Homo-oligomer: A and B are copies of this chain.
Amino acid sequence: MRVFFITSNKGKFLEASTILREYGIELQMDVNHKKVEIQSDSLEEIVSAALANVCNGPVSDYYVVEDDGLFINELRGFPGPYSSYVYKTIGIWGILKLMADARDRSAYFKSVVGLCGPNGIRLFTGVVHGEIATEPRGSGGFGFDPIFIPLGYSNTFAELGLDVKNKLSHRARAFRALGEWLLGNR
């Protein structure tokens, strides 16, 4: 069974491949397929549309697409599905500015992993709840990790490092659900 992850994000690939190795699956990075992302408030819609572009005919291998976002309740879900665009424009600084006098700092990261293969399309979801820090802390991870403190911890994802992040992150949860499904259905 070959499983290709259509992504050019090395941070995501590292996290996903570490998880799937627990299930004996050697994930391969696929940079040849172009991941077409539509604009939508729903990660499920974005992932389904991206998969439809790849698996528009019978396939013999498995292809994986993932999309995720940081949803901040005080900001009505912003930056949500547009987290990577927001990260590269207004960045962590912008989020902290928007949250400067927020009463509610709660937020969640959500990941949707889409799989297409010989037996069709399936989606797997992972969520981790937490809150937005008042300043960036830590150097691990990527994106908004330095300002996200998962529930039950006092450190940010960037401080906790990959080992802890891969126990509880949204992406870890979604890829673990994928790993379990693949073990049972390949």
Identify 10 residue pairs between A and B in the complex whose beta-carbon atoms are under 8 Å apart, listed by A's number. A37-B39, A39-B39, A76-B89, A76-B90, A78-B85, A78-B90, A79-B89, A82-B85, A97-B100, A98-B98
Which residues of A in the span 35-91 have a Cβ within 8 Å of any Cβ on B?
36-39, 41, 46, 49, 75-82, 85-86, 88-90
Contacts of A86 in B (CB 8 A): 78
**A118 interface contact, C-beta 8 A:** no
Give the complex CA separation of A49 and B38 in angstroms. Answer: 10
Interface of A is mostly: mixed
Q: How many copies does the complex hold?
A: 2
Task: Give the Cβ gap from A160 to chain B, nearest Cβ, in Å.
Answer: 28
Pick the residue among B36, B38, B41 that contacts A85 (CB under 8 A): B41
Contacts of A90 in B (CB 8 A): 75-76, 78, 98
